[in-house]
Structure 1
Amino acid sequence: MSAYTIIVSDTALLQRVCGTNDSNLKLIESFLGVPVFARGNELSLGEAAPETEQQFNFIINRILDEIDAEGPQVADRDLIQSILNQGNEGRGDFSSSEDRRFFSQCSITIPGGVRKVYPRTKGQAKLIQAMRNNDMVFATGPAGSGKTFLAVAEALRLVLSHQKSSIILTRPVVEAGESLGYLPGALEEKINPYMRPLYDSMNAVLPKETVRRMTETGLVETAPLAYMRGRTLNNAVLILDEAQNTTKEQMKMFLTRMGEGSKIFVTGDVTQIDLPHRVPSGLVHALSVLESVQGIAVENLCAEDVVRGELVKRIIQAYEKDEENE
């Protein structure tokens, strides 16, 4: 059987497809289970079944579509992983052309960003669509499923494209009591460790200088949840992270800070509640009473959406199985 070959007439474009040291080809090989070769202006697939050849053709052409003259200099790992999920014909995800079209429409382009953000799973694509179509979104899921990262990326897109005026980032700190007065240092020094994951998400998609400037000018504001009381926030994107550690009263207070033209993204993991015994989670309560309210969307990510690596995914699945057996 002869090798299946795709000709890419532009060798510079071919290099961008292959990635640094053929890193992209290695990802594709691992996914297909068949060697992929780059020779001259050709990409060739080792001996494979017709359905694998079809997947290979789909994957390469989707990459070529994305990295046109306006795209990245080299296709990054997120883009490749996103496209591999789209090409997962017959293995669960994105088996229809309709699913693939939906997936490809859900990338996030941040003005001035260092890279485009692509959903790696169908669950992540649905979350991005929900954030675009609803004023309030609850996103639940295990660690590493991308819920906080995608919420921050979408908020940055909205602000830097001048659709919203600011981003307010908040988390419950020191469990639910928020006893900041007992901690040493100024307020900023006290809350920085709790807000670090949110800044990590911003630094992953924007130059650090841009993040610093946005913080200094008030485009991005971080505050403990307790400091939100009494405020009305208009034309802003409000993100509440680690929402499983809010009380019912804190959750109600936060949600009612929403002013005219604002959006709220609430993220949390209902399996990681750190509240004192017998204190009900505000996130769990909100999900039970608000899910049917018009304008509110709830997206539940799962272990299949975890993108931190296969080992993390297997750890989460093992804990889920153990909890089911208790």
Structure 2
Amino acid sequence: MRRRLGSWPLAVKEQPLGISALTPPTRSDDVVETLLEFPDNRLLIDLCGEYDRNLAQVEHQMGVHILRRGNRLAVIGDKGAREQAAAVLRALYARLEAGRAVSAGDIEAAIRMGQPMPDALRNVAGSEQIEMFTPGSVELRTRKKPIEPRTEAQKAYVANLFANELGFGIGPAGTGKTYLAVAVGVTMFIGGMVEKIILSRPAVEAGERLGFLPGDMKEKIDPYMQPLYDALNDFLPQKQVQKLIEEKRIEIAPLAFMRGRTLSNAFVVLDEAQNATTMQMKMFLTRLGQGSRMVITGDRTQVDLPRGVPSGLQEAERILKGVKGVTFNYFTAKDVVRHPLVARIIEAYEADESHKA
């Protein structure tokens, strides 16, 4: 049974409990409320979530209290937090109006995009980021589910992959670089824009070093390729993925297997490109054939190459900047779409690296 909360008189000095019924943050004397009205009670129920869990999540993470008053929500807190929380709630409601569901991950992403940004990123306003959750946002159609970029950087990345023949996605783990690249590839494949999908990784350990392991080469290599299989299975039925692999319309193979080929009419993704050597990167880039699109993804902070061996990703970034038809998109911890703790871990490591530098 849904818990309904009445209104609290604002003149009372005691701290209101809000939806979460947990200890609230310290309340200052100038606290007032922002009142939001939602015309569709059915959508408001979805916005609040089962047992108001969605509102509780906003409360916990944004330092506000939210009170239910019929078809209205009262957001109580300091001005900045109150305005940001109200913007998040409006954006999530607009998402529901567009026929999209709201998950805990969607709320987490909306909260991150509604929070103040570092000075270096202030060219993209928080309000513009929040617009990613409105009906005008980008959506990729796959056989299993629609995919939405959740941040401004992800939206720009997807747009560039459609507009350019070669795109680079560079940034930390969990920012959607590979996931969105595969989603774009599946969308183009379904739409007849390409005839096949080719996914590759350097698989540093997948050469002769695996020779002592039992099984054929596919069985030895598959564990290193599993993240690519996982992404495909998110967008296409598993049986269809298997059938397309058997028909060689989807290929998943180590980078070394690309040598000597011309990849025409294909959507090609090289994942974990920071572990490609300079020569491997040059070899891969020059495989691009007529009618093909190529995406290179990587994280410059997770290079597994032997000491002294330069990363082909960093070399390509330096050499290809400014080349027509080549685009670079960069991601930060702000774009992480995994567990919120992942974003904080990345930020901590980045701060440590900056301190060492």
Fold equivalence (TM over 0.5): yes
Alpha-carbon spacing, 1:287–1:178, altered in 2? closer, same or farther (3 Å)? farther
Of 77, 83, 104, 1:77 maps to: 104
- In 1: Cα distance, 2:118 partner to 2:349 partner: 25
Q: 1:181 Cα shift?
A: 4.4
Alignment of 1:189-228 (within 5 A): 189-228=219-258
Between stretches 85-94 and 282-291, larger displacement belongs to 85-94
Contact 1:45 1:53 in 2 (8 A): no
Distance in structure 2 (CA, Å) of the matches to 1:177 and 1:186: 12
Partner of 1:44: 73
1:87 corresponds to which residue? 114
Cα distance, 1:118 vs structure 2:
2.9
Aligned letter for 1:110?
Answer: R
Correspondent of 2:181 among 151, 155, 170 = 151
State whether structure 2 residue 139 is matched by structure 1 residue 108: yes
Q: Are 2:189 and 2:196, in contact at CA under 8 Å, matched by a contact in 1?
A: yes
Aligned sequence identity (%): 40
Matches of 1:159 and 1:21 in 2, distance apart?
A: 41
Larger radius of gyration: 2
| 2:139 partner letter | I
Instruction: Tell me the amino acid that sits aligned with residue 106 of structure 2.
Output: L
Task: Give the aligned partner of residue 28 of structure 1.
Answer: 58
1:166 corresponds to which letter in structure 2?
Answer: K
Where 2:260 maps in the other structure, the secondary structure is: coil
- 1:123-162 matches, within 5 Å, as 123-162=153-192
Offset, 1:177 = 4.7
Unmatched 5+ residue regions in structure 2?
Answer: 1-9, 11-31
Cα deviation 1:154-187 (Å, max 9, x = unaligned): 2222222333222111011234856554542122
Indicate how the Cα distance of structure 1 residues 212 and 16 shifts in structure 2: closer, same or farther if over 3 A, else same: farther
Distance in 2 (CA, whole Å) between partners of 1:91 and 1:287 is 25
Q: Verify the 8 A CA contact 2:113 2:126 in the aligned structure 1.
A: no
By how many angstroms is 1:206 displaced?
4.6
Determine if contact 1:4/1:45 at 8 Å carries over to the other structure: yes
| Distance in 2 separating the partners of 1:190 and 1:59 | 46
Give yes or no for contact 1:176–1:275 (8 Å, CA) kept in 2.
no
Identify the range of structure 1 (249-258 vs 4-13) with the bigger mean alpha-carbon deviation.
4-13
TM-fit CA distance, 1:149: 1.8
**In the comparison of the two structures, how many residue pairs are matched?**
322
For structure 1, which runs of at least 5 residues remain unmatched after alignment?
Answer: none
| Residues 6 and 57 in structure 1, CA contact (< 8 A), matched pair in contact too | yes
Larger displacement relative to structure 2 (293-302 or 100-109): 100-109
C-alpha displacement of 1:255: 0.9
The two structures have a TM-score, normalised by structure 1, of: 0.83
Q: Does 1:245 align with 2:250?
A: no
RMSD (Å) for aligned C-alpha atoms = 3.1
Shift of 1:313: 3.3
Q: 1:126 to 1:56 in 2, by over 3 A?
A: same
Residue number in structure 2 paired with 1:60: 89
- 1:279 maps to 2:306: no
User: CA shift at 1:296, angstroms?
Assistant: 0.7
Q: 1:67 to 1:202 in 2, by over 3 A?
A: farther
For the residue of structure 2 that corresponds to 1:47, the secondary structure is strand
| SS at 2:115 equivalent | coil
User: Which residue identity lines up with residue 26 of structure 1 in the other structure?
Assistant: A
1:180-238 CA distances to partner (integer Å, 9 max, x unpaired)?
A: 54542122212210111112223345554454444344442201112112222222211
Answer whether contact 2:54 2:107 (CA < 8 A) is retained: yes
Q: Is the 8 A contact 2:68 2:74 kept in 1?
A: no
Q: Distance in 2 between matches of 1:19 and 1:219?
A: 42
Matched, 1:118 2:149: yes
Q: In the alignment, is the contact (CA less than 8 A) between 1:79 and 1:118 conserved in 2?
A: no
Partner Cα distance (2:319, 2:251) in 1: 29
- Measured in 2, the distance between the counterparts of 1:21 and 1:210 equals 39
* Cα distance in structure 1, aligned partners of 2:126 and 2:260: 49
1:254 counterpart residue number: 284
